Amino acid sequence: MQTMKAALVAAIGIAALLVLLLPGVAEEKGHLALTISIDGAIGPASASYVKEALVKATERGAEVVVLRMNTPGGLNSSMREIIADVLASPVPVVGYVAPSGAHAASAGTYILYATHIAAMAPGTNIGAATPVQIGGPLPGLPGGTPDKDSKKEGEPKDAMTAKVTNDAVAFIRSLAELRNHNADWAEKAVREAATLSANGALQAHVIDLIARDPAELLREVDGRVVEVAGGKMQRLATKDAVVETIDPGWISRFLAVVTDPNVALILLMVGVYGIIFEFVSPGAVAPGVVGTICLLIGLYALNLLPINYAGLGLMLVGIALLAIEAFNPTVVIGLGGIVAFVLGAVMLVRDEAPGYRLSWSVIGIVAAMFTGFVLVVFGSLRRARKGTVLVGAQAMQGLPAEVLDWSENEGHVFAHGERWLARGVEAFEPGDVVEVANVVDLTLVVRRAPAPSGEGGPKS
């Protein structure tokens, strides 16, 4: 018994010692490096993905987050959200343009400048950070309309272009100064759409290092000191870090689909179609439910995108004009509706960022289908309104009825296969054929039936 007690005390002591020692061992050998990837255009889905990943990295006490990028750019609003999250992250973020053949253009350049350590793989490039406006490249900038009045190359002419360009320059220069990178080349990338290869970027002090793969990257950044949110200096210990990849959550995947402007436009049209079907055929339920869901999802997606509300207004005007054309054909109103709808669809997205442009094919197909649908459906409604009424009080008007009995100004008649209470200003005899003039509170108002055609005329 005494031996068992001694063994139990020894086991408890060993367990307590392990509890005290293991955290230090884990802290020294179990550093965690999380990796996230942005492939393709930067948009609301990318911003949501990066935010979720940085929150997870903070909760799990990760040593570093490796943000791998291969992007042509994207939306300015989403880019600024990502940069704000990176700057506020207590976990260092290493920007890494990879694999070989990848690039970080436009918005990707700004994000790479914002990361605590910037790296590139061999065979990659960075730059071309010129802001993109509606209608194409900025005037006075490479690829834009030549500006004869500009005093120096790359200087924008109109005030709005100057504001956008100068704001972008100030933003990227502030990031460069924060991370002690080449601010002059950053400005050149904005004003002149300059680009650099990986070796050129390293020589120009645009990035901190070149790494062939993530393993080499973690070895290279090991021991470097970076400043994280709050001004705290942190020495990285990533040489033997455990690497774990964070995949996008279902919210990010959902946003990646619905925030495509083409998908959002199709969802809007499906929503409109469904609601119209429900009004045309009340009680069908399914078209109304599907249409409402698609319409709400489409509006939610538009809320996340930089939408030009003038374009959305033109689309609504186009739909209204096509509806008017169906009820009152004039051709001119219909053509105006088509033109307004197409122009509105073209203007719908305010920024022509890579990956966020409406396809002309989608616009054409949607416009053609909507025009045909509206004209056919509303044309059918118009014809139905002008057709003969088949049920109700109006359907009884003009029908013949046989008098069954009559006393003074009222009696009973047989009409439409049923016995009806009737009244009239004339006196009738049973068996007379009268005509229904109106229906008031389930009582037929009758009058003498008109003489058949030719009756009372001269006889031969």
Distance CA 278, CA 276 (A): 5
Place of tokens 């002309």: 360
- Give the least confident one: 82-96, 119-133, 134-148, 393-407: 134-148
What predicted TM-score, i.e. pTM, was given to this entire model?
0.66
Structure tokens at 456: 């009372």
pLDDT surpassing 70 at residue 336: yes
Torsion of CA 405, 407, 408, 414, to 10 degrees: -20
The length of the chain is 460
% of residues, the chain, pLDDT over 90: 32
Q: How large a percentage of the chain has pLDDT more than 70?
A: 77
Q: What are the tens digits of pLDDT across the range 395-439?
A: 677 788 888 988 888 899 898 778 888 888 888 888 888 888 888
What are the angstrom distances between the C-alpha of 84 and each of 207, 263, 416? 20, 28, 77
Output the pLDDT for position 118.
95
| pLDDT score of 111 more than 50 | yes
How far CA 17 is from CA of 11, 13, 21, 25, 374, in Å, comes to 10, 6, 6, 12, 78
Cis peptide before 99 (omega within 30 of 0): yes
Kindly state the average pLDDT of the residues 218-233. Answer: 89
What confidence score (pLDDT) does residue 217 get? 93
The predicted pLDDT at position 139 comes to 39
Phi-psi category of residue 96: left, alpha or beta, with phi > 0 → left and psi -120 to 50 → alpha: beta
pLDDT beyond 90 at 362: no
User: Can you tell me the distance from the alpha carbon of 418 to that of 401, in angstroms, rounded to the nearest whole number?
Assistant: 10
Instruction: Write down the pLDDT at residue 25.
Output: 39
| Residue 264 to residue 258: CA distance in whole angstroms | 6
pLDDT at 56 over 70: yes
In this model, does residue 4 exceed pLDDT 60? no
Query: What pLDDT is attached to residue 37?
Result: 93
* Predicted confidence band of residue 458 (pLDDT cuts 50, 70, 90): very low
85 and 52 Cβ atoms separated by less than 8 Å: no
Average pLDDT, the chain: 80
pLDDT in tens, 234-246: 999 988 889 999 9
- Which structural domains are found in the chain, ordered by start? 29-248 (3.90.226.10), 259-386 (no CATH), 393-448 (2.40.50.140)
* Separation of alpha carbons 308 and 214, rounded Å: 41
Does the pLDDT of residue 154 top 70, yes or no?
no
pLDDT in tens, 302-323: 888 877 888 888 888 887 887 7
